[in-house]
């Protein structure tokens, strides 16, 4: 996720583009840059850091011009430094492009361009855009961008300017958001409305596979064949605060709703046409992956729940023994680690000190280290032998939501990849699971759509003091995560338990007034989970069951949340979403600030 903005009009570019980018920092903030069309040249300024740093760099420079584009980055390819910051240019400096998304076939395009003599200066996927357009110097810019859109695969929101076109910005969209704003004799283009809301409320949403040529007087939209598409203009009713949250009440709710897209981004380019997992980015030798005889997965908090899920997935699909550890405990129990051990550290921030200290300890014992993180070039990424990035984009809410579901997806991809490499699973079964992973964005959006239903269910829960979340097997980490979400944002006592463990003691706590939530999706154990739940129901309390479509045996439940059918483990990605919504609605009913819960920090860099 990155933010792009473009402006064409009479005002000084810097005064429009820099504040516009600052409004988009929620989309990424590791580096930023501008390209301005100034007379007979394009001027590009970019650097690592936030928009304020870029503004400082530009303070004494001329930021006027005919038109300009800007970018705030959340790295997906290439470290977050000044060289990889956008805009990116061609060999001549005549074309500048900013991009939000992932060009899946960039390596192939880059290879071909280098073969034709182009010189690249960055490690990004985006740089291919400028070089491709450089080869079309005689083609109108909008047609050149259409051709780029035809040859590039993946997600692209682009804005491009060219020295020989002083009156036009051309933008395009596929799977990444893009909106155009129309002012009086000035036009804007951006990833999101807040970038231009203080200047105009007239907006055109650009659809997938559309190219829009923008001049100071208007916008012409075409499909990829060049046929004109009528523009539908709307008036924005939101104020700036609502616009920054995409119209949601909080970043957390927005991020819950972003999960289908975040999961699609995490899967993008990692499953090939023949339906196999492709994780070339890992750069771990298949021989090494075949030789591993033990896996440790180490993490904290929500990421630890992803580690729990990883254990089920890797053991079930590859038969490699997996141990999981809370990072702050790992070093102090003298774990047995050797060069045939794969240690996986999971951390959305990649900066959690407990996790870093644990994986450093393992690496010192000779283990191979795989980092799973959402932040490119974070400490975990830098220190690992290999990295698997979740691609959730920045998460502003302190409570992890989209970074968790993308961790689950990343770990399931990894489990299936190991199964492929080690031939530990029937190829047909691998293919089936991969197909189901690909269905997740749709399944998750279906569940996100049940928010009102969940809100209604939680209406009377603002004063409930005790919640229990139960599950077995793959449903157990989901239950643990449901309890953590409720604890951290609604400040209520919520315990996650393996459902079968309740009868060994905690069942003594069940009485009228407690709420018990049971997750029952895992085929091997769901009947047992339901009978454990029936035991609770007999002792009082309000019972909620999460089960798949078509399942029954839940007559004793007070509420049933139905999930789309899916295979074991993969289905749990959908199961966690109602629990995020449940925590959200309880906290909201209590009037709490869900984005900034008390006593918590987004990244914990102390032991």
Q: Any idea which residues carry the catalytic annotation?
A: 2, 602
Site stretch for ligand M6R (CB under 6 A), options 261-269, 348-356, 358-366, 514-522:
348-356
Chain Cα centroid distance, residue 382: 20
Q: Which two tokens stand for residue 207?
A: 């659809």
Query: In 10 A of CB 147, how many CB atoms?
Result: 16
Considering the rule CB under 6 A, would residue 576 count as an interface residue with ligand M6R?
Answer: no
Contact of 334 with 270, CB cutoff 8 Å:
no
Kindly tell me which of 176 and 303 has the beta carbon lying closer to ligand M6R: 303
Q: With binding defined as CB under 6 A, does residue 406 bind ligand M6R?
A: no
- State the Cα–Cα distance between residues 309 and 433, nearest whole angstrom: 15
Identity of the residue, 251 or 317, whose beta carbon is nearer to ligand M6R in the bound complex: 251
Number of residues engaging ligand M6R in binding (CB under 6 A): 16
Determine if 527 is a binding residue for ligand M6R (CB under 6 A). no
Q: Does 301 bind ligand M6R (CB under 6 A)?
A: yes
Q: Give least dist CB 580 to ligand M6R, A.
A: 10
CA separation, residue 232 to residues 203, 314, 519 (Å): 8, 49, 44
Structure tokens at 211: 């190219």
Indicate whether 400 belongs to the interface with ligand M6R (CB under 6 A).
Answer: yes
CB-count exposure of residue 548 (10 Å: 0-12, 13-18, 19+): middle
Element (H, E) at 521: none
DSSP letter string, 392-415: -----SSS-SHHHHHHHHHHHHHH
What track of x and - describes contact with ligand M6R for positions 351 through 380 (by CB under 6 A)?
-x--x-------------------------
Helix (H) / strand (E) element for 307: namely helix 301-318
- The CA distance from 277 to 455, in Å, is 37
Among 303, 390, 451, 473, binds ligand M6R (CB under 6 A): 303
Between 349 and 554, whose beta carbon lies closer to ligand M6R? Answer: 349
Which residues ranging from 435 to 494 are in contact with ligand M6R (CB under 6 A)?
A: 488
How far apart CA 436 and CA 147 sit, in angstroms, is 33
Residue 488 Cβ vs ligand M6R, minimum distance, rounded to whole Å: 6
Tell me how far, at minimum, the Cβ of 176 lies from ligand M6R, in Å: 25
Task: Give the strands of the sheet with 31-38, arranged side by side.
Answer: 41-48, 31-38, 67-73, 3-8, 187-190, 179-182, 202-205, 233-235
> Quick one: 504 exposed, middle or buried, by C-beta within 10 A (0-12, 13-18, 19+)?
exposed
The H-assigned helical ranges of 122-197 are 127-134, 141-151
**Cβ 135 to ligand M6R shortest distance, Å:** 42
For residues 585-604, which are near ligand M6R according to CB under 6 A?
600, 603-604
| Local structure of residue 603 (DSSP, 8 states) | S
**Quick one: 234 or 598, whose CB is closer to ligand M6R?**
598
DSSP 293-305: -EEEEEE-HHHHH
Quote the tokens at residue 186. Answer: 């000035």
Q: Is the dihedral of CA 84, 90, 93, 98 positive or negative?
A: negative
Among 398, 514, 557, 583, binds ligand M6R (CB under 6 A): 398
Q: Is 139 in the site for ligand M6R (CB under 6 A)?
A: no
Count other Cβ atoms within 10 Å, centred on residue 41. 12
| Shortest distance (Å) from residue 363 CB to ligand M6R | 17
CB-wise, 32 or 480, nearer to ligand M6R? 480
Q: 38, 176, 302, 580: which one contacts ligand M6R (CB under 6 A)?
A: 302
Q: For residues 492 and 465, is the Cβ–Cβ distance under 8 A?
A: yes
User: Does 390 interact with ligand M6R (rule: CB under 6 A)?
Assistant: no
CB of 251 to ligand M6R, least distance (A): 13
CA distances from 116 to 132, 145, 215 (A): 11, 19, 33
Residue 347 binds ligand M6R, judged by CB under 6 A: yes
Quote the least distance from Cβ 242 to ligand M6R, whole Å: 24
- Give yes or no for residue 388 binding ligand M6R (CB under 6 A): no
What are φ and ψ of residue 573, in 5° steps?
-65, -35
How far is it, in rounded angstroms, from Cα 179 to Cα 183? 13
C-alpha distances in Å from residue 89, one per residue of 66, 133, 155, 213, 346: 18, 10, 19, 19, 35
Nearest Cα residue to 213 out of 144, 128, 148, 122: 144
In the structure encoding, which two tokens stand for residue 373, read together? 């993180």
Residue 352: CB minimum distance to ligand M6R, A: 3
Please tell me the distance from the alpha carbon of residue 234 to that of residue 271, in angstroms, as a whole number: 37
CB of 314 to ligand M6R, least distance (A): 19
- Point out which span in 6-14, 142-150, 281-289, 392-400 binds ligand M6R (CB under 6 A): 392-400
* Residue nearer to ligand M6R on the CB measure, 236 or 386: 386
- Residue 17, SS3? helix
- Pick 274 or 599: Cβ nearer ligand M6R: 599
Find the shortest distance in angstroms from Cβ 377 to ligand M6R: 15
Our finding on whether 153 is near ligand M6R (CB under 6 A) is no
CB nearer to ligand M6R: give 58 or 356. Answer: 356
- Binding string, residues 241-280; x marks residues near ligand M6R by CB under 6 A: ----------------------------------------
Q: How far is the CB of 592 from ligand M6R (least distance, A)?
A: 14
Residue 592 half-sphere exposure toward CB, CA atoms < 13 A:
22
Of 355 and 572, CB closest to ligand M6R: 355
Q: Does 38 bind ligand M6R (CB under 6 A)?
A: no
Structure tokens at 203: 């907006």
Task: Give the residue with the Cβ less far from ligand M6R, 291 or 600.
Answer: 600
Which C-beta is closer to ligand M6R: that of 67 or that of 400? 400
Residue in the shown chain whose Cβ atom is closest to ligand M6R: 301
Is 580 an interacting residue with respect to ligand M6R (CB under 6 A)? Answer: no
Among 43, 63, 89, 349, binds ligand M6R (CB under 6 A): 349
348 binds ligand M6R (CB under 6 A): yes
Using rule CB under 6 A, residue 300 touches ligand M6R: yes
HSE-CB of 506 using CA atoms within 13 angstroms: 19
**295: contact with ligand M6R by CB under 6 A:** no
Chain residues in the site for ligand M6R (CB under 6 A): 300-303, 347-349, 352, 355, 398-400, 488, 600, 603-604
């Amino acid at each position: 996720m990155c933010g792009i903005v473009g402006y064409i009009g009479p005002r000084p570019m810097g005064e429009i583009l820099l504040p516009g980018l600052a409004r988009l920092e929620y989309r990424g903030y590791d580096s930023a840059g501008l390209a301005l069309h100034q007379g007979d040249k394009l001027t590009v300024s970019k650097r690592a850091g936030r928009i304020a740093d870029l503004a400082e760099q530009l303070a004494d420079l001329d930021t006027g011009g005919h038109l300009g584009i800007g970018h705030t980055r959340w790295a997906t390819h290439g470290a977050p430094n000044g060289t990889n910051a956008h805009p990116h240019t061609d060999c001549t400096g005549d074309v500048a492009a900013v991009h939000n998304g992932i060009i899946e076939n960039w390596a192939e395009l880059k290879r071909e361009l280098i073969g034709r003599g182009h010189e690249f200066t960055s490690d990004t996927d985006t740089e291919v855009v400028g070089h491709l357009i450089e080869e079309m110097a005689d083609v109108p810019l909008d047609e050149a961008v259409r051709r780029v859109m035809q040859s590039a695969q993946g997600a692209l929101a682009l804005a491009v300017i060219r020295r020989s076109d002083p009156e036009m910005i051309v933008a395009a969209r596929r799977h990444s958001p893009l909106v155009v704003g129309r002012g009086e004799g000035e036009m804007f283009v951006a990833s999101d409305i807040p970038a231009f809301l203080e200047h105009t409320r007239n907006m055109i949403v650009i659809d997938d596979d559309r190219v829009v040529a923008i001049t100071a007087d208007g916008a012409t939209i075409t499909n990829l064949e060049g046929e004109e598409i009528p523009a539908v203009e709307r008036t924005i009713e939101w104020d700036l605060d609502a616009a920054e949250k995409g119209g949601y009440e909080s970043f957390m709710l927005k991020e819950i709703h972003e999960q289908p897209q975040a999961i699609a981004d995490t899967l993008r380019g990692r499953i090939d046409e023949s339906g196999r997992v492709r994780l070339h980015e890992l750069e771990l030798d298949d021989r090494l992956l075949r030789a591993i005889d033990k896996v440790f997965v180490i993490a904290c908090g929500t990421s630890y729940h992803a580690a729990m899920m990883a254990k089920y997935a890797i053991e079930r699909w590859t038969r490699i023994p997996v141990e999981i550890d809370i990072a702050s405990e790992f070093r102090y129990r003298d774990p047995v680690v050797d060069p045939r051990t794969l240690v996986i550290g999971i951390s959305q921030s990649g900066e959690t000190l407990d996790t870093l200290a644990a994986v450093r300890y393992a690496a010192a014992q000779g283990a191979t280290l795989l980092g799973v993180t959402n932040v490119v070039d974070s400490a975990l990424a830098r220190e690992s032998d290999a990295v698997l990035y979740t691609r959730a984009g920045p998460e502003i809410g302190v409570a992890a939501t989209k970074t968790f579901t993308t961790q689950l997806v990343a770990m399931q991809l990894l489990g299936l990849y190991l199964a492929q490499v080690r031939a530990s699973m029937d190829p047909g079964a691998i293919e089936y699971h991969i197909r189901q992973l690909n269905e997740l964005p749709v399944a998750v959006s279906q569940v996100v759509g049940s928010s009102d239903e969940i809100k209604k269910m939680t209406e009377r829960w603002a004063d409930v003091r005790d919640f229990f979340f139960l599950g077995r097997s793959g449903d157990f980490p989901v239950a643990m995560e449901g309890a953590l979400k409720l604890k951290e944002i609604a400040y209520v006592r919520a315990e996650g338990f393996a459902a079968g463990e309740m009868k060994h003691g905690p069942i003594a706590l069940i009485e009228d007034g407690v709420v018990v939530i049971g997750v029952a999706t895992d085929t091997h154990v769901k009947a047992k989970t339901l009978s454990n739940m029936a035991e609770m129901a007999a002792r009082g309390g309000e019972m909620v069951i999460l089960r798949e479509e078509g399942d029954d045996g839940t007559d004793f439940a007070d509420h049933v949340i139905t999930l789309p059918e899916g295979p074991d483990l993969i289905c749990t990605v959908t199961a966690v979403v109602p629990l995020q919504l449940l925590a959200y609605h309880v906290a909201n009913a209590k009037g709490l600030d869900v984005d900034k819960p008390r006593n918590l920090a987004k990244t914990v860099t102390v032991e």
